Amino acid sequence: MLGLLFPIDCVVCGLEGSWVCPECWENNCQRLKRRCFICKKLGENGLCKGCQKFTGLSELICGYSYKNPAIRELIIKAKYANYSNALVFLSQKFLDEAVDAEIDFDVVAYIPSSRNKFRERGFLQTKIIAEKLFRRNASVKILKVRETAAQAGLNKAARRENIKDSFLVKDNLRDKTVVVVDDVVTTGSTLKEAVRCLKMAGAKKVIGVTLAYD
């Protein structure tokens, strides 16, 4: 219905019908294999030793490169022009590759966004991604207890400082393996902070899942 009212064109070639047509998807949007999604060094389970230690994640599973113009355009459309269905499209592509079958987990959490962003957009993009990918409610709440500046444009140290102590988890996660979902991973600072809070709440293992990596 929405498609009829607002026809969607491929952001790469302009063909009408979907956000990225099958041919452009095939030519542009392959997933990275056997690399650390954060620093791109060789790694197992999506992380090199250094980034595993930094984030505290046991595994990191990411969709597509944010440097790819088609992927970036879809995420920007969702972030700044409120096209939540662009996220649903990307999540479905990710799901088609059986990302949910790759991992064993108990509960799902997502990175919270600032209250102002939520008010502007009217939807929580990380929640949409999480519930689409794992086909269940994201039952673990990571609370945002302090407003933070946007991470974009900050270096690694500044990102770490900006996000520090801004999350809180009140659920009891004792012995649980938690999947935590974000839209894009860059330095891993946001995930690191989420891991810290989830583990303080008792989580024994945290697996990161993001739609894109920078």
Q: Among residues 24 and 163, whose Cβ is nearest to Zn ion?
A: 24
Q: What's the closest the beta carbon of residue 40 comes to Zn ion, in angstroms?
A: 7
Q: Among residues 17 and 141, whose Cβ is nearest to Zn ion?
A: 17
By the 10 Å C-beta count (0-12 exposed, 13-18 middle, 19+ buried), 168 is classed as middle
Both structure tokens of 166: 């801004």
Would you give the distance in Å from CA 43 to the centre of its chain? 19
Q: Among residues 22 and 137, whose Cβ is nearest to Zn ion?
A: 22
Q: What's the closest the beta carbon of residue 85 comes to Zn ion, in angstroms?
A: 17
Q: What's the closest the beta carbon of residue 168 comes to Zn ion, in angstroms?
A: 27
Q: What's the closest the beta carbon of residue 74 comes to Zn ion, in angstroms?
A: 13
Q: What's the closest the beta carbon of residue 98 comes to Zn ion, in angstroms?
A: 24
Other C-beta atoms lying within 10 Å of the C-beta of residue 33:
6
Q: What's the closest the beta carbon of residue 155 comes to Zn ion, in angstroms?
A: 16
Q: Among residues 43 and 63, whose Cβ is nearest to Zn ion?
A: 43
Positions touching Zn ion (CB under 5 A) are 10, 12-13, 15, 21, 24, 36, 38-39, 48, 51
* β-strands 142-144, 167-169 pairing: antiparallel
Residues 6 or more apart whose CB falls under 8 angstroms from that of 204 comprise 174, 175, 176, 177
By the 10 Å C-beta count (0-12 exposed, 13-18 middle, 19+ buried), 196 is classed as middle
In the chain, % helix, strand, coil (3-state, to 5) comes to: 40, 20, 40
Residues 6 or more apart whose CB falls under 8 angstroms from that of 17 comprise 8, 9, 10
Q: Among residues 12 and 74, whose Cβ is nearest to Zn ion?
A: 12
Both structure tokens of 125: 């993009």
